Structure 1
Amino acid sequence: MVHSPHELHLAKLRVVLANEFGEGAMKILGVTRRDLEHLLSDRLLHRELVRSGKHVIVEKTPDSLCHWERLRECWPDARYIFLLRHPAHIVDSLYTAHPELGRERLYAEHLERFVEPMRRARESLDGIAVRYEDFTADPETEAKRICAYLDVPWEPTMLEYGRVSRRFRYGIGDWGDRIRSGRIQSMRPLPLPDEVPDQLRDWCRAWGYMPA
């Protein structure tokens, strides 16, 4: 019942009113450029949902976290799932994909970019938190919890994503060997507290991976 397309990057869509006639026409309708962008995003999601023949659609672009206010404005009835993972492993994953950036830059940019928006989003939106570590350890239990939250029936085939052809491509989702394997893989051991870089300690505390 759930359709989860590739990352859609809806926050990057822009509507351009090319001249004063278009601006005037929209002004008479009482429609702003932001309203038009919301309509475009909503229409895209509706199109994909209808094409899938399912009942619930997921927007899972990680950068959407930085635009959660717009999501709430556009879809006031949306339901939210906050995905958490140990910050050291997030940086490891990003570094594997982009070694040219260096770890120090990843520490600084992603601390600033994601930690504060996640804090504000969790304080402002109703939703559930799902930890990567919990899901990989017991995917069935976590998937059932998510289904209960979304009010959709649990189906064992939800965990058999390797049966379905997927687009593994840079820019629209994960493309690494682990996801290409078609099965949920065990997580690596978490770093001990004294192994966590100083730059990540506040992040780890904020997300419950280290004592406050």
Structure 2
Amino acid sequence: MTAFSQKNLIFLISQPRAGSTLTQRILGTHREIYTLSEPWIMLHPLYAMRRDGYQAEYSIQNSKRAMDNFLNLHPEGEDAYFQAVRQMNLHLYEGLLQTSGKRYFLDKTPRYYYIVPELYRTFPEAKYILLLRNPLAILCSIFNTFIQDNWWRIQYYQGDLLRAPSLIAKGMLDLQNNSLVLQYENLLLNPEIEIERVCNFLNVPFDAGIISYGDSEAEKWQFGDRSMIYQENKPMNQNGDRWQENLQNPIIWQSANNYLEFLGKDLLANLGYSYTKLKEILEKQKPKTQVILPPALQDFFASANMFLDKSLQPVQGVVGLTAQLFDSYLSLGRVLLQENHIEQALKYLEIALQMAPFVPETQCLIGEALLRIGKLDRAITYYQKAIQLGAKIHQNQLESSRIALQQALQLNPNHQAIAELLAII
């Protein structure tokens, strides 16, 4: 086995739901390529060189200032940091590769689209595969897999939908000498041709047998596609157009139409897709009546254009943190409510509500907290708002709400609004 270096590294970069797990499974079946789930290990050290886009218990602003001062005094400047990151992570990659007996390590982590410039600076001799998929198909897959009819969850995919396409398009320009562009649709249509092209790019022998990835024994991964990928054993051409079935839902159709306009002709063309053809697909399935999007989706698309404004680039990292912070405040409020610390719970839940006003669980938790301190009319308002949002409420939260409402009704048997709510939920 030859000495391990960055030339033994392969990075597969894409949006989530772009077919990266399928591609990874195929390539990982090759006798010379080893891979596993999604390492994510390059994000932490490379984000340390940024001023925003992440959160920590310590001050990230002071951390960046201190690091800048340290590296300004270092004889090799910033290069010293990237060299150190390179050595550290080569050691980590090599440790896993040695157990496999293979020559190349494939790191597939979709959120690497955030760090393509820094990743290339760290590993300029590595190989990069940029996997593309029709963005409308990605949107539909995110709806179908992650959001379903809990429309507020779209806030968690701002980066994947609003930032990733332009960042990947830029990566195609920056990495063109060290990269290969692979389209998911072409992989499904002509898997032998496309995988042979990938193997030639990687300088490994082409083996048609790896396309039937499901014929080999492989463990199930924690990250990536954990459903369809295990039900099939090779790329299936019919999956290429399956996303269009989701357009029968008027809300998803309207969202896809809004997303198409957000992306625009130029960005789609840079990604290798035709605005005109995608518009034709949408027009064929256009709903007969006007669609009014749920509030959470209205808010999402109303704020989407800020991601096209380069002058707002510094703000985007802060916006991207909102979903993470919301989760933290919601979780704190939920735990404090369970421990019966009502006033403290309300403080955190109200902050969560300000960050994401269209999440029914937040409304229910605030309603439950207000019930416990006897503020019945205000509690009813929050419960009614949760129902108006028209999204599913988690079963555990429903049960908790029923118990709280039943207790309130026992104390106030003539309160008609509570009785009506109990009948609804």
The TM-score bracket by the shorter chain reads: 0.7 to 0.9
Letter of the aligned partner of 1:5 in structure 2? L
Once the two structures are overlaid, the 10-residue window that deviates more, 36-45 or 152-161, is 36-45
Change (3 A) 1:107 1:57: closer
CA apart distance, 1:78 = 0.9
Residue number among 263, 271, 280 corresponding to 1:207 in the alignment: 271
Specify the alignment match of 1:181 in structure 2. 231
Residues 136, 259 of structure 2: 8 Å contact kept: no
Deviation of the 1:72 alpha carbon: 1.2
Deviation at 1:74, TM superposition (A): 1.7
27-36 or 146-155: bigger deviation: 27-36
Residue 112 of structure 2 is aligned to residue 64 of structure 1: yes
The gaps in structure 2 that reach 5 residues or longer are 1-31, 49-69, 245-252, 277-425
Secondary structure class of the residue paired with 2:210: helix
- The residue type equivalent to 1:149 in the other structure is F
Partners of 1:104 and 1:52 in 2: how far apart? 38
Question: How far has the Cα of 1:58 moved from its partner?
Answer: 1.1
Q: Paired residue for 1:160? A: 212
Give the corresponding residue for 2:197: 145
Structure 1 alignment gaps of length 5 or more = 17-23
What is residue 131 of structure 1 aligned with on the other side?
Answer: 183
Q: TM-score, normalised by structure 1?
A: 0.78
Q: Which amino acid aligns with 2:271?
A: W
Distance 1:103 1:200 in 2: 20
The C-alpha deviation readout for 1:138-167, integer Å capped at 9, x for no partner, is 111100000111111011221122122232
Q: Verify the 8 A CA contact 1:107 1:200 in the aligned structure 2.
A: no
- What is the RMSD of the two structures over their aligned residues, measured on CA atoms? 3.0
Helix, strand or coil at the partner of 1:175: coil
Percent of residue pairs bearing the same amino acid type: 22
Secondary structure of the structure 2 residue equivalent to 1:66? helix
| Structure 2: distance between partners of 1:14 and 1:67 | 11
CA distance change for structure 1 residues 168 and 5 in 2, over 3 Å: closer, same or farther? closer
1:207 aligned partner, one-letter code:
L
Counterpart in 1 of 2:101?
Answer: 53
2:92 to 44, 48, 51: 44
Q: Larger deviation: 182-191 or 43-52?
A: 182-191
Tell me the distance in 2 between the aligned counterparts of 1:42 and 1:69.
Answer: 18
Q: How many residues align?
A: 198
Amino acid at match of 1:122: M
SS at match of 2:107: coil
- Indicate yes or no: 2:55 matched with 1:7: no
One-letter code of the match for 1:11?
Answer: M
Query: In the aligned structure 1, how far is the partner of 2:38 from the partner of 2:186?
Result: 23
Alpha carbons of 1:101 and 1:29: their partners in 2 closer, same or farther (altered >3 Å)? farther
Higher helix fraction: Structure 1 or Structure 2? 2
Pick closer, same or farther for the CA change 1:206–1:96 going to 2, 3 Å: same
Distance of 2:128 and 2:108 partners within structure 1: 10
CA 1:107–1:36 in structure 2 vs 1: closer, same or farther (change >3 Å)? Answer: closer
Equivalent position of 2:166 in the other structure: 116
Determine if contact 1:3/1:57 at 8 Å carries over to the other structure.
yes
Residues 167-210 of structure 1: CA distance to partner in whole angstroms, max 9, x if unpaired?
232xx22112x10124222324275xxx7513234253431221
Distance between the aligned counterparts of 2:159 and 2:125, measured in 1?
A: 31
- Give TM-score, length-normalised by structure 2: 0.42
1:113-139 per-position Cα deviation (integer Å, ceiling 9, x unaligned) = 202211221111121111110001111
Residue 40 of structure 1, CA deviation: 2.5
> 2:42 is paired with a residue of what secondary structure?
helix
